[in-house]
Structure 1
Amino acid sequence: MPTTPPPDGAARSAEELNAAIRALWIGPGGHPTLRLSEEQRAEYHQLLAELDRVERGDVTTAA
């Protein structure tokens, strides 16, 4: 389930980013995934970087 940034460059909230990160680690049937694919790993790192920017206040969430 790839996540994409919201349209118009709007920033996602920390809550949305955490939900997307959790979704990567939950496999079919709601069981934790032990390994991420290369694509999932890249998405995970992108989400972590985005979450870091949000937590540092480097972005503004859209109203």
Structure 2
Amino acid sequence: MPNSPAVTGSLRPAAVVNKEIRALLAAGGLLTPEGRRRYEQLVVEWAAAGQDDVAEAA
């Protein structure tokens, strides 16, 4: 199984990614392997976006 590429910078704000995570969860997205992979990708993107938000605020 290939590893997900590292996110070096987010193109989307954390709030946008968070909205997509919530929609995935509401739709039962964790019930499939594809949904779980998408969730993991979104969490990585969300974390990177949060770090970008903190760096911009500093």
**TM-score bin, normalised by smaller chain:** 0.5 to 0.7
Overall identity of the aligned pairs, in %:
34
Q: Which runs of 5+ in 2 are unaligned?
A: 1-9, 54-58
Q: CA deviation at 1:26?
A: 1.0
Q: Which runs of 5+ in 1 are unaligned?
A: 1-9, 28-32, 59-63
TM-score by length of structure 1 reads 0.59
- Note the aligned Cα RMSD (angstroms): 2.2
Q: CA deviation at 1:50?
A: 0.4
Normalized per residue, the structure richer in helix is 2
Number of equivalent positions: 44
TM-score by length of structure 2 reads 0.64
Q: Which structure 1 residue ranges, 4+ long, deviate > 3 Å from structure 2?
A: none
